[in-house]
Amino acid sequence: MNSLINKIKSKKYASLGDEIIEQEINNFLGKKPKAKDKEIIKEVKTRLHKIYGSFQVNKKKKRDTLLEELKENQNSIELHRKILETNLSTKERLKAYNTLYYRIFQITGQPKSILDVGSGINPISYPFLECTPSYTSIEIDKEDVEFVNEYFKIKNIKGEAILKAINKDTIKDLPKTDITFLFKIIDPLEVRKGHKFSEMLLKGLKSKYIVASFSTKTISNKMMKYPRRGWFEKLLTRINLKFKIVKTQNEFYYIIEK
Ligand SMILES: C[S@@+](CC[C@H](N)C(=O)[O-])C[C@H]1O[C@@H](n2cnc3c(N)ncnc32)[C@H](O)[C@@H]1O
């Protein structure tokens, strides 16, 4: 197992925790127990690209320098924006941040605590919240986790980033907060686990509100013809969860009340 993990952990996936890679290997072996190493490595790398690799903009060095600058100039929105630009998901949300949380909190009320699942570096958008909740971030990328923890420390935010993969066994360990963010995480999780996992996640989260977002662009960056996720809306209706929609240029947000 260790040698397989090391072969998969090429440069691109070097900062992923071993746990998530092992999980993917076991998933594949579950389906194809007799697969040879070469096939396992190829398949797991394809999976990792879908759930993780395709969102990375290789600017991790640049953001470290920006974080150093932030130490001297903690309230600079300009520096926050520059850091958010170093990750694809937050870069696409850059314009939307100005009003996004205001629009969400008009529905949910201002939160005292936030859980951000598969957060990437979204916690760096903290100043745009315009309130001061405690913040828990869950992420499988070790470098993102360290980066976000350093950010919380610099800004003196009551927050913690945790290196953890969400799966059926770890859902129950998630803390109870006023709001849970599932920003652009349902699609990558669906790739692996299907609608049943989304149902389990929605039911297992303890927050009063869940905000789940979906990109309105395809992986090749084209606008989707039908950006609403019909299957997701049907699922919400079936499990009796009410929702409202907030739409931005690049994203659809489902504000779900539990
Ligand atoms: C499309 S990105 C979205 C990042 C962030 N939520 C945002 O919208 O700015 C998906 C993120 O989920 C993380 N991720 C994927 N599978 C995960 C899992 N099982 N548990 C925790 N995080 C996961 C990836 O590392 C990546 O940072």
pTM of the model: 0.84
SS3 sequence, the chain? CHHHHHHHCCHHHCCECHHHHHHHHHHHHHHCCCCCHHHHHHHHHHHHHHHCHHHCCCCHHHHHHHHHHHHHCCCCHHHHHHHHCCCHHHHHCCCCHHHHHHHHHHHHCCCCEEEEECCCCHHHHHHHHCCCCEEEEEECEHHHHHHHHHHHHHHCCCEEEEECCCCCCCHHHCCCCCEEEEECCHHHHHHHHCHHHHHHHHHHCCCCEEEEEEECECCCCCECCCCCCHHHHHHHHHCCCEEEEEECCCEEEEEEEC
Does the C-beta of 47 come closer than 6 Å to ligand 1? no
Does the C-beta of 180 come closer than 6 Å to ligand 1? no
Cα 116 to ligand 1 centroid, rounded to whole Å:
10
Q: Which residue's entry shows tokens 């976000």?
A: 148
Cα 144 to ligand 1 centroid, rounded to whole Å:
10
CB atoms within 10 A of CB 175: 14
State the pLDDT at residue 184.
Answer: 95
Does the C-beta of 51 come closer than 6 Å to ligand 1? yes
> To 10 degrees, what angle do helices 37-51 and 18-31 make?
120
What is the rounded average pLDDT for all residues in the chain? 91
State the pLDDT at residue 191.
Answer: 63
Does the C-beta of 135 come closer than 6 Å to ligand 1? no
Chain segment 153-190, per-residue pLDDT in tens? 999 999 999 999 999 899 999 999 999 999 999 988 87
Residue 23, pLDDT > 90, answer no
How many angstroms separate the CA atoms of 55 and 16, rounded? Answer: 13
State the pLDDT at residue 140.
Answer: 93
What is the band of 130 on the pLDDT scale with cuts at 50, 70, 90?
A: very high
Q: Computed over its alpha carbons, how large is the radius of gyration of the chain?
A: 18
Q: How far is residue 135 CA from its own chain's centroid?
A: 14
How many angstroms separate the CA atoms of 160 and 150, rounded? Answer: 10
Cα 121 to ligand 1 centroid, rounded to whole Å:
9
Cα torsion angle, 178, 84, 212, 149, sign: negative
Chain segment 66-92, per-residue pLDDT in tens? 999 999 999 999 999 999 999 989 999
State the pLDDT at residue 157.
Answer: 98
Does the C-beta of 52 come closer than 6 Å to ligand 1? yes
Q: Which residue's entry shows tokens 């003196």?
A: 156
CB atoms within 10 A of CB 247: 13
- Which CA distances in Å does 151 have to 85, 95, 122, 157, 202? 15, 21, 11, 8, 29
State the pLDDT at residue 193.
Answer: 62
Cα 195 to ligand 1 centroid, rounded to whole Å:
17
Residue type, 98: N
